[in-house]
Structure 1
């Protein structure tokens, strides 16, 4: 378990600089707030994990996922206190036409943006974690909802 958390921590810490630098600090702060994070000192936190294995919120990915010309941001956070065996949590937020940020999806696990699409060109999201046969969520025009399960790109059943 400690090895999994250490590996997730390493991956999260390596992903932060490139992704975060593509957004100005005010936009980063707005994205974190939309995802439910609060600034504690220099760390963005949604989880109040007291353990030493905790990894604070980090911007993992900035991309225009649906082709509307505005950025979406994947924010990650790590620690078994809040995220159990998965050891990681995610939030997906989107910049809106009015300049505000909106939370689209959040949960426990490791988010992977897939090439398959739902309504309005939004990509499907695989939510990985321990085990096999991961849930895939699809945008229905209002929210991300469970769509199917897959493992290594192939349908599966739990």
Structure 2
């Protein structure tokens, strides 16, 4: 059982880091605001939340509004079960403040299809063969459809 959990956690870590190009360069002042907006607290040299240590795995404009957005990833089978990973999407607002717009268990795969305000649809991956695709409706990400490898599917 421990081997299976370790294997799943390793796969989750590898999959979650696959969507990050390279470790993004985030200004220290922005890094602090991003983590605080997501509910993390500074502990020595790391940012911690209820599930463990977080890391910013993407720092770029995700929706084409000219403002930076960030993805924080953290990993824990205790919090996220077999998926072993979770993520937060934190968006910079026009007033310069940061706001968490999504917190999910899973591994995000940003699709070419878009919701309101140019936000990309997100296939929320993990173990299995049919994943929810989340779409931004202007106020929150909600389940829009289910897909596997770009094809519609249904949960059993």
TM-score range, shorter chain: 0.7 to 0.9
Are residues 1:29 and 2:29 paired?
no
1:87 to 84, 87, 96: 84
How many pairs align? Answer: 151
Are residues 1:150 and 2:153 paired?
no
1:16/1:58 contact within 8 Å kept: no
Give the CA deviation at 1:11.
5.7
Task: Find the aligned partners of 1:71 and 1:154 in 2 and give their Cα distance.
Answer: 31
The farther-off stretch of 89-98 and 61-70 is 61-70
In the alignment, what sits opposite 1:140? 137
1:114/1:125 contact within 8 Å kept: yes
Task: Find the aligned partners of 2:139 and 2:34 in 1 and give their Cα distance.
Answer: 19
2:83/2:126 contact within 8 Å kept: yes
Runs of 4+ in 1 over 2 A off after TM superposition: 6-20
When normalised by structure 1's length, the TM-score is 0.87
Give the CA deviation at 1:17.
9.2
Q: Give SS of 1:75's match.
A: strand
Give the CA deviation at 1:15.
7.6
Task: Find the aligned partners of 2:18 and 2:135 in 1 and give their Cα distance.
Answer: 28
Cα gap change, 1:144/1:26 in structure 2, threshold over 3 Å: closer, same or farther?
same
Are residues 1:45 and 2:42 paired?
no
Structure 1 segment 112-131 matched on structure 2, within 5 A: 112-131=109-128
What stretches of structure 2 of length at least 5 have no aligned partner?
none
When normalised by structure 2's length, the TM-score is 0.88
Cα gap change, 1:115/1:140 in structure 2, threshold over 3 Å: closer, same or farther?
same
1:12/1:58 contact within 8 Å kept: no
In the alignment, what sits opposite 2:24? 20
The farther-off stretch of 8-17 and 98-107 is 8-17
What stretches of structure 1 of length at least 5 have no aligned partner?
50-55
